[in-house]
Structure 1
Amino acid sequence: MAAKMRETQIPTAEGTAVREVFPQGWEDVRGHAEIVRRLRRLASAGRLPHALIFSGAAGVGKRRTARVLARTLLCASGGDAPCGRCEACRTTAAGVHPDYFEIAPEARGKGAAMIRTEAVREMLIAASEAPAAAKRRIILVDGAERMNETAANRLLKTLEEPAGEILFILVTNAYDAVLPTIRSRAARIAFGALTRTEIEGALLERGGVPDAKAIASLADGSLGRAYDLVDTGLAPRDEALSLLTALPVLRIDEIWRRAEEFGALSHDDRMARLGFFRMGLRDMLVLMEAGTAEIFHADRRAELAALLPQTTRPRIFALLRESDALIRRLGTNVNPALQAEAFLIRARKQFQ
């Protein structure tokens, strides 16, 4: 059973506080056993480089691992894991350790969240002094791919010539989007997807998740996505599959109704429904090749298999292309209901 985790206020370079749950120890990292062993060995031997970059899909545990590593390095015991009892462990978990800094993308207005130049500058100034309580200062940059160009170049200068004992841990969901010169100065640790068994186990430990097995299948290797699905429930998924399985017999009046309902959703909800719809199409392709293979909608295998005699592989690929086009159009200034209506009319033909 994983240790209980505490909600804490994590200070950012901008001086704001983000309510987060800070992991207590390595037992709170789900999966990635080889990465954990490697980091613990390097931490204990004092052989970590001055900069690490944790890359991998969203929600697989990169930031959590980075935080446990930071807590380990700041711990007064100096071992390969945080003791959880010393003052350093307590202040790190509470988000007030003077040698720990964390920065993340910030949204302003309707613009995309990003890490701005002033935030990086303030963080680097704060971290430039000698360690106050530990042997080194630790800077965690979450969402490193979302630094603007000026911020990235400022960070690069410090990575090239770090002052004193300091460790940078950069966390990214998009490794190739990080400035190449930054990538070349940090040791990369690539995080793979979690297994369905690992995700299901984490959900069961959390408790109160009756659809844990189905959610683990839909999470696509991401525990973060699994937690999001727990919060939102499976109703959006069920609506998407209801539409897919109804396509062969969908009447025009039903198309109008469903298109209006789709248009009334928020943009994020529309994207979520389309995501589940596309997962269903990919499941059908898998079932055509190997009927016993793992699929996303594992709990709805029979319904998806029943659709196979009514379509063909080329038609499913055509429907995937149509859904791609719909996603692109919905990102522009269009009427979502009209776009959904046209899509459903074309989609129905792939089952006739």
Structure 2
Amino acid sequence: MTVEKERRFFEEQHVVMKRISTSFQNGRIGHAYLFDGERGTGKEAIALYFAKLLLCDQPENSVPCETCHSCRRVTSRNHPNITMIRPDGQDIKKEQMSDLIFTMTKKGFELGRKIYIIAAAERMNVAAANTLLKFLEEPEGEVTAILLTEAYHSILPTIQSRCQRIAFHPPSRERMIENLVEKGITTSMAATVTMVTADPDEAFELANDDQFAHMRKTVLKLVEASDLHVQEALLFIQSDWASLFKEKEETERGLDLLLYAYRDIVAYKAGLQSVPTFPDQQEFLRSLSMKMTYSKLSAHMDAILQAKKQLHGNMNRTLLMEQLVLSMQEGLLVV
């Protein structure tokens, strides 16, 4: 990550930075934090900044010096007192949590606080979450946990209650769209990518990615196919969808885009003035809003969210999508 990008995160999340600074200044450092925010809001960059501040040899005005041996090692990602955990495949597994606890409790660390950062904490499986919970309840010595998540409500309530929640707010979506349009991106594509990520750089890359454009088009075709005969919709899944959304991560992105399409439909039905995800599909999605009840739209969105949860299990992805389509077919009722 570039220094310029880090600086932008720090500026955009000035409320978070102020809270961290105040906590440090007052000597009120918690033993566990939950950094909650959309993709691209700088959670990991600020978690590492916080770790650097906590380990700095000579902080000044609640800011790390950036020049001491400790700060330099945090910057180069090789400080021995910091442990980073990421999903192993699609999940964070119990073995990873057990290894973490062993690492946190064994000797060999330098003096000072020990810090562990868990990226995508919502992806902890049940066993991993329960193992972490026990450690959160009985931390040994000066230990600080920083959990990063894009889905706060997917974290176990018992873990939520033991962490200080720090909310990361995304930049103005309208301003991001304006900036992308100024760079030559169409308004429709800009509206879509700014729903996928709050990071302007990533949004620009997605907007210029031919595969993402194909994904976007295919998701909209699925919405259209779901309005047709069930056999046509299932055939679409087996041919067009399955050949494009091969990996779990790709399927998850497709489900996100599908969910956003139905959010657009709900917004049209309710007469809301929010910026849609697919403004170029206004006529089609508005026509669907006239055909579907609120209860069925809600059922559709719940089914998509459930499919996202099942995606991280061992269920066959094509079968998962076929079941989702069947569920959606049942929901297309005329008001």
Both proteins in one fold, TM over 0.5: yes
Q: Return the TM-score normalized by structure 2.
A: 0.70
Q: CA deviation at 1:201?
A: 8.4
Does residue 4 of the first structure (1) align with residue 4 of the second (2)?
Answer: yes
Does residue 296 of the first structure (1) align with residue 277 of the second (2)?
Answer: yes
Kept in 2: contact 1:105–1:142 (CA 8 A): yes
2:101 to 102, 109, 120: 120
SS in 2 for 1:72: helix
Does residue 343 of the first structure (1) align with residue 320 of the second (2)?
Answer: no
Cα shift readout 1:287-308 (whole Å, capped 9, x = no counterpart): 1111533333245334422444
**Which residue matches 2:117?**
140
Structure of larger gyration radius: 1
Kept in 1: contact 2:86–2:120 (CA 8 A): yes
Whole-Å separation in 2 of the counterparts to 1:137 and 1:318: 45
Q: CA deviation at 1:241?
A: 1.1
Q: Which has the higher helix share?
A: 2
Tell me the matched-pair count. Answer: 317
Q: Unaligned 5+ residue runs, structure 2? A: none
Q: CA deviation at 1:38?
A: 1.8
SS in 2 for 1:233: helix
Kept in 2: contact 1:241–1:277 (CA 8 A): yes
Q: CA deviation at 1:85?
A: 4.2
CA spacing shift, 1:28–1:127, aligned 2, 3 Å = farther
RMSD of equivalent CA atoms: 4.5
Kept in 2: contact 1:103–1:141 (CA 8 A): yes
Q: CA deviation at 1:68?
A: 1.4
Cα shift readout 1:257-281 (whole Å, capped 9, x = no counterpart): 4132134442634443343223212
CA spacing shift, 1:83–1:213, aligned 2, 3 Å = farther
Q: Pairwise mapping of residues 201-240 of structure 1 onto structure 2 (< 5 A)?
A: 213-219=190-196, 229=206, 233-240=212-219
Kept in 1: contact 2:32–2:136 (CA 8 A): no
Whole-Å separation in 2 of the counterparts to 1:338 and 1:88: 49
Kept in 2: contact 1:61–1:223 (CA 8 A): no
**Which residue matches 1:78?**
60
Kept in 2: contact 1:215–1:229 (CA 8 A): no
Q: CA deviation at 1:253?
A: 7.7
Whole-Å separation in 2 of the counterparts to 1:338 and 1:154: 38
Q: Unaligned 5+ residue runs, structure 1? A: 6-22
Kept in 1: contact 2:36–2:165 (CA 8 A): no
Does residue 241 of the first structure (1) align with residue 220 of the second (2)?
Answer: yes
Whole-Å separation in 2 of the counterparts to 1:222 and 1:310: 35
**Which residue matches 2:28?**
48
Whole-Å separation in 1 of the counterparts to 2:331 and 2:116: 53
Does residue 266 of the first structure (1) align with residue 246 of the second (2)?
Answer: yes
Whole-Å separation in 1 of the counterparts to 2:292 and 2:129: 47
CA spacing shift, 1:70–1:118, aligned 2, 3 Å = closer
Q: CA deviation at 1:202?
A: 9.1
Whole-Å separation in 2 of the counterparts to 1:328 and 1:154: 26
Percent pairwise identity: 19
Whole-Å separation in 1 of the counterparts to 2:332 and 2:34: 45
Kept in 2: contact 1:56–1:175 (CA 8 A): no
Whole-Å separation in 2 of the counterparts to 1:151 and 1:341: 33
Q: Pairwise mapping of residues 14-93 of structure 1 onto structure 2 (< 5 A)?
A: 23=6, 27-29=8-10, 31-43=12-24, 45-57=25-37, 59=39, 60-75=41-56, 76-93=58-75
CA spacing shift, 1:351–1:190, aligned 2, 3 Å = same
Whole-Å separation in 1 of the counterparts to 2:273 and 2:191: 16
CA spacing shift, 1:344–1:235, aligned 2, 3 Å = farther
Whole-Å separation in 1 of the counterparts to 2:116 and 2:321: 48
SS in 1 for 2:54: helix
CA spacing shift, 1:288–1:121, aligned 2, 3 Å = same
Q: CA deviation at 1:345?
A: 9.1
Q: CA deviation at 1:93?
A: 1.0
Q: Pairwise mapping of residues 308-323 of structure 1 onto structure 2 (< 5 A)?
A: 308-313=289-294, 316-317=297-298, 319-320=300-301
**Which residue matches 1:96?**
78
Kept in 2: contact 1:220–1:296 (CA 8 A): no
Whole-Å separation in 2 of the counterparts to 1:184 and 1:251: 47
Cα shift readout 1:79-123 (whole Å, capped 9, x = no counterpart): 33344444433221111234x312314527xx8322321232113
Whole-Å separation in 1 of the counterparts to 2:176 and 2:23: 27
